[in-house]
Amino acid sequence: MEYAITCTGLSKRYGSLAALTDLSLAIPAGTIYGLLGPNGAGKTTLTHILTGLIHASGGAARVAGLDVASSGVALRRRIGVLEQQPLFYGWMRGREALAFTGELFGLRGAPLRARVAEMLAVSGLTAAANRRISGYSGGMRQRLGLALALINRPEVLFLDEPISSLDPEGRYDLLQTISQLRGATTVFMSTHILADVERVCDHVAILDHGKLLIAATVAELRDRYAQPIFLLEPEGGQDQAVGYLIDQIRAEAWCTRVTLEGGVIRVLARDMVPDHSVTRASERILPLVVAAGVHLQRFERSRPDLEDIFLQIVGRGTAADPQPKLAQAAQEGTK
């Protein structure tokens, strides 16, 4: 298999802080690769190393077949980068910024003008093309940033949290654009928004405290963490019985997490392989419902979404506390 990005034993230290530790990754060409991780995990640091803005403290990385530390301009011709907070020359106009960037990639004359017009159209900025960037909104800047990152038809595109300041339509357009790049361009995208990863990415890596926790295809991840989820939707007006039921389920050994969201009880069972606890769970859960006298309008066994998996991997889902503290505090506040 051909790899667009490989890292071997990459590390980055800031004084005593290890922003990245011994990171090894291989990203197949043409894939849309999602880099997940909580705040401070090292996502931006990794992106900066791979784009040559900062130097690794140890290890090596190759992007588009070139060594990152020694390739300079040759590498930068072949990549596109959208920073987490895209920053441009505010005095430039949108069209001017695209033309300037195109020129840096060697475009001139008619091909440059055509490419600029195309990118303006794609990013929905044609109407704002002659306005100064300093007057653009956050979402407009992000769309301009993507257009600037794509102007050279990069082999590898780095997107550092590209979705954060977009409205729903902009977000949809962005994901659409990213999907269309599949196969032709390798997209390396860091994000917090798991639903978006689920929609466009075929591979994911999860980073926490500078360490790689897991790297797999989305499908593998789902299989590996195919910890089942039971969804129970009680009929209305049984608050007391439902509360009792939740307490009963929570007390079961096989149960990792119970939440009540929007009138639906979500029950996570522990990993099934070693102790067949899923079988236990499916055996036990309905008798508990009956014993609590709760009437259900829906009972379903479903697969976890990426968010459940993510929380489980970064070790937030297996905490003794079955509900996230913040949510609990909020609930207590409303009582």
Partner 1 sequence: MTGFAVMVRKEWREALANNRLLVVLIVFTLFGLISPVLAKETPQLVKSLGGVPGIQLPPPQLSDVVTQFIKNVASNGIFVAILITMGLVAREKERGTAAFVLVKPVTRLAFLAAKILTQSVVLAAGIALAALVAYWYTIPLFNASLAGGFWAAALVIWLYLLVMTSWTFLGSALLTSQIGAAGFGLAAFIGMSLLSILPNANRYLPGGLLDIARLLALAQTPQHLALTIGVNCAWIAIPLIMAFLVFGRQELVARQ
Ligand X SMILES: Nc1ncnc2c1ncn2[C@@H]1O[C@H](COP(=O)(O)OP(=O)(O)OP(=O)(O)O)[C@@H](O)[C@H]1O
Binding residue for Mg ion, selected from 11, 21, 31, 44, defined by CB under 5 A: 44
Shortest reach from residue 90's CB to partner 1, in Å: 8
Shortest reach from residue 177's CB to ligand X, in Å: 22
| Residue with smaller CB distance to partner 1, 11 or 312 | 11
Binding residue for ligand X, selected from 7, 10, 19, 36, defined by CB under 6 A: 19
Amino acid type, 283? E
Question: Using H for helix, E for strand and C for coil, what is the string for the chain?
Answer: CCEEEEEEEEEEEECCEEEEEEEEEEEECCCEEEEECCCCCCHHHHHHHHCCCCCCCEEEEEECCEEHHHHHHHHHCCEEEECCCCCCCCCCEHHHHHHHHHHHCCCCHHHHHHHHHHHHHHCCCHHHCCCEHHHCCHHHHHHHHHHHHHCCCCCEEEEECCCCCCCHHHHHHHHHHHHHHCCCCEEEEEECCHHHHHHHCCEEEEEECCEEEEEEEHHHHHHHCCCCEEEEEECCCCHHHHHHHHHHHHCCCCEEEEEEECCEEEEEECCCCCCCHHHHHHHHHHHHHHHHCCCEEEEEEECCCHHHHHHHHCCCCCCCCCCCHHHHHHHHHHC
Distance CA 43, CA 270 (A): 29
Shortest reach from residue 92's CB to partner 1, in Å: 8
Binder of residue 39, out of partner 1, Mg ion, ligand X, none (CB less than 5 to 8 A by kind): ligand X
Q: Which two tokens stand for residue 132?
A: 């100064």
Shortest reach from residue 192's CB to ligand X, in Å: 6
Exposure pattern of 107-123 as b/e (b: 16+ CB <10 Å)?
beeeebeebbeebbebb
Amino acid type, 284? R
Binding residue for ligand X, selected from 9, 14, 72, 305, defined by CB under 6 A: 14
Size of the site for ligand X (CB under 6 A): 12
Shortest reach from residue 53's CB to partner 1, in Å: 6
Residue 162 touches ligand X, criterion: CB under 6 A = no
Shortest reach from residue 54's CB to ligand X, in Å: 8
| Residue with smaller CB distance to partner 1, 52 or 228 | 52
| Residue with smaller CB distance to ligand X, 17 or 273 | 17
Residue 62 touches ligand X, criterion: CB under 6 A = no
Exposure pattern of 56-70 as b/e (b: 16+ CB <10 Å)?
beebebbbbbbebee
Residue 17 touches ligand X, criterion: CB under 6 A = yes
Residue 83 touches partner 1, criterion: CB under 8 A = yes
Residue 145 touches ligand X, criterion: CB under 6 A = no
Binding residue for partner 1, selected from 43, 62, 76, 270, defined by CB under 8 A: 76
| Residue with smaller CB distance to partner 1, 77 or 222 | 77
Binding residue for partner 1, selected from 4, 32, 81, 144, defined by CB under 8 A: 81
- Interaction residues for partner 1, span 40-69 (CB under 8 A): 48, 51-55
Residue 45 touches Mg ion, criterion: CB under 5 A = no
Residue 50 touches ligand X, criterion: CB under 6 A = no
- Interaction residues for Mg ion, span 78-97 (CB under 5 A): 84
- Interaction residues for ligand X, span 82-111 (CB under 6 A): 84
Binding residue for partner 1, selected from 88, 188, 225, 230, defined by CB under 8 A: 88
Interface with Mg ion (CB under 5 A): 43-44, 84
